[in-house]
Structure 1
């Protein structure tokens, strides 16, 4: 397996003590496991408890102005493109397969919108 297979990139969106939201690039560690024998080994992170999982579909042109997240959630894009602006002004675009851990549940929050004329489908773990 590839030498860098023991790492997984995750973006975190958090609030600082002044109430501003910021992005932070983090690396989750994964290790090789026999998860589903007789299938070949694969890489897995440490388990994280999830209480619920939902799918969200944002229609083409959807826009949510600055708002804090309603709860801590992990969002993984399945289709479309999502642009997120932290309250500090940094803007990032997320594409299918990318994950963001949304933890800015207080403060000014973030703004989000579907871009590129596409609807956005996400799986959200709460």
Structure 2
């Protein structure tokens, strides 16, 4: 399973990476077809944010801790300090780990949006639990 990642290098520059999350087949019910599931990763808290309509751009910023950002509706264009840009539509998720450095820029679609932020204190760098 692929995951878009925003991270910062030691020199403070932010970049994108496509991370492959390993999965295994899991059946949750005898009548259900098994589906791909990742391992469990430790999370410290969850926040649900409502981004108001008309909030078009959030200036360069970092995140306080690594988080998995799950976009329920709307879309966003992220830009990293190396000049790369990526479009993230509703239903996608991004691992945002640029906790230092120049950060990233967010350009939101005009409608209100709901986003879930799941804090992953170790990002995906730690072995899953």
When normalised by structure 1's length, the TM-score is 0.86
Distance (whole Å) between structure 2 residues aligned to residue 23 and residue 56 of structure 1: 23
Could you list the runs of 5+ residues in structure 1 that have no partner in the other structure?
A: 1-7
Partner of 1:4: none
| Residues in 2 aligned to 1:19 and 1:69: alpha-carbon distance in whole angstroms | 13
Residue 64 (structure 1) aligned to one of 53, 58, 69: 58
Question: What is the RMSD computed on CA atoms of the aligned residues?
Answer: 1.3
Offset of 1:36 from its aligned partner? 4.0
Match of 1:110 in 2: 104
Runs of 4 or more consecutive aligned structure 1 residues displaced over 4 Å after TM superposition: none
Q: Which residue in the other structure is 2:18 paired with?
A: 25
SS in 1 for 2:70: strand
Verify the 8 A CA contact 1:77 1:122 in the aligned structure 2: yes
2:93 aligned to which of 96, 99, 114? 99
Equivalent residues of 1:59, 1:114 under 8 A apart = no
Task: Determine the structure 1 residue equivalent to 2:126.
Answer: none
What TM-score results when the alignment is normalised by the length of structure 2?
A: 0.84
CA–CA separation in structure 2 for the residues paired with 1:50 and 1:64: 25
Given the alignment of the two structures, is residue 75 of structure 1 paired with residue 56 of structure 2, yes or no? no
Structure 2: gaps spanning 5 or more residues? 120-129
